[in-house]
Chains A and B, each alone.
Chain A
């Protein structure tokens, strides 16, 4: 158990719909990262938040948005869903500190299926 909690684990929805994926980082971790992994593909970096602020952005579609709340949990919002958005969405957290780079702790992912 990594300590990162993602909900829901599975989600099936239709094209054009909107969904929200939720992530609770490990206790004490200030950074949250979102990744997308389509079938048999690598991990695509979407976005990073640090202590409530957006810090880095990858190739995240305009239909997607995210935020990190004061309690440090994060939500990834996916709207106007298309078939190609079907994927595993992972959240990871880490401690960014002056001690140097740490490791990412990944959740179990949310599997989104768009029909």
Chain B
């Protein structure tokens, strides 16, 4: 099971682009990389998932280099409401198999006015 390492916290200002990097040095061939966002006292919410290169959706982009040992979540033009904890996890989610889906410590992003 690939372990992830993220910065504990980050500060940013409204309107800036925020990049949060996650290290997963022992990622396996079948592992996907998924990012979740969590607000206080709420359950995490899916942001984006990818396997390689770049994935973009309406809220974020995910950059994964060729060696897949790290990934970067990019949040364009953050607002105060993006203040949250962001979790990176890797998962091989094989059909009918067990998945421990371990969340690391997460990155606490503080967006300031």
Interface residue SS majority, chain B: loop
B91 at interface by CB-CB < 8 Å: yes
- The distance in angstroms between the C-alpha atoms of A112 and B46, with both chains bound, is 24
Interface stretch of the complex, out of B20-28, B61-69, B102-110: B102-110
Partner of A58, one of B95, B100, B105: B100
Residues on A with C-beta less than 8 A from B95 are 96-98
Interface size class of B (residues with CB under 8 A): 20 to 34
Interface flags for A44-75 (1: CB within 8 Å of B; 0: not) read 01001010000111100000000000000000
9 pairs of A and B residues whose beta carbons are closest in the complex: A106-B43, A56-B98, A101-B93, A55-B98, A103-B46, A43-B103, A101-B32, A42-B105, A56-B100
Q: A2-B45, A48-B99 are in contact. List 15 more A-B contacts (CB 8 A).
A: A33-B99, A33-B101, A35-B103, A42-B104, A42-B105, A45-B103, A48-B98, A96-B95, A96-B96, A96-B99, A101-B92, A101-B93, A104-B44, A104-B46, A105-B46
Jot down 25 A-B pairs with beta carbons below 8 A, ordered by A. Answer: A33-B99, A33-B101, A35-B103, A42-B87, A45-B102, A45-B103, A48-B99, A55-B97, A55-B99, A56-B98, A56-B99, A56-B100, A96-B93, A96-B97, A97-B95, A98-B95, A100-B93, A101-B34, A101-B49, A101-B92, A103-B46, A105-B46, A107-B43, A109-B41, A109-B43
